[in-house]
């Protein structure tokens, strides 16, 4: 008798907690639905990097270690990208323009 009372109390407490969690999530979803996901204008970034031969060499080394595997176009020898057939179709379709843009920006020294 005592055990089942204690059990009922535990079940009540757990039920109330679950209800509180569900209501909190629902309230949060309603607020987000009405007000939208908050956005913030990005702050202006002042980034000035002094270009030195050592830094250029280090960047070249880093990109050779980490980036060329995916971004190097073997035909042109540039970071223009290449097809990645193992990725889902939407990614493959979108890669070319973006990576070429990035590569053009890199070539232009920006």
User: Residue 1 or residue 75: which is nearer to ligand HEC going by CB?
Assistant: 75
**Minimum distance from CB of 65 to ligand HEC (Å)?**
8
Strand partners, 41: none
CB atoms closer than 10 angstroms to residue 13:
10
87-to-38, 65, 92, 93, 97 alpha-carbon distances in Å: 31, 21, 6, 10, 16
Which CB sits closer to ligand HEC, 35 or 91? 91
Minimum CB separation of residue 9 from ligand HEC in Å reads 54
Positions touching ligand HEC (CB under 6 A) are 63, 66-67, 69-71, 91, 94-95, 98-99, 101-102
Q: How far are the Cα atoms of 35, 63, 64, 89, 96 from residue 93, in angstroms, in the given order?
A: 34, 24, 25, 6, 7
In the bound complex, what is the minimum distance in angstroms from residue 105's beta carbon to ligand HEC?
A: 8
Residue (9 or 84) nearer to ligand HEC, CB? 84
């Amino acid at each position: 008798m005592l055990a089942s009372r204690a059990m009922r109390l535990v079940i009540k407490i757990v039920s109330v907690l679950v209800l509180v969690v569900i209501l909190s999530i629902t309230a949060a979803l309603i607020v987000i639905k009405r007000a939208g996901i908050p956005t913030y204008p990005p702050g202006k970034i002042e980034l000035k990097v002094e270009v030195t031969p050592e830094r250029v060499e280090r960047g070249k080394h880093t990109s050779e270690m980490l980036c060329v595997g995916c971004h190097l176009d073997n035909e042109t020898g540039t970071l223009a990208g290449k097809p990645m057939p193992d990725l889902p179709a939407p990614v493959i379709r979108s890669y070319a323009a973006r990576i070429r843009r990035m590569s053009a920006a890199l070539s232009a020294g920006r």
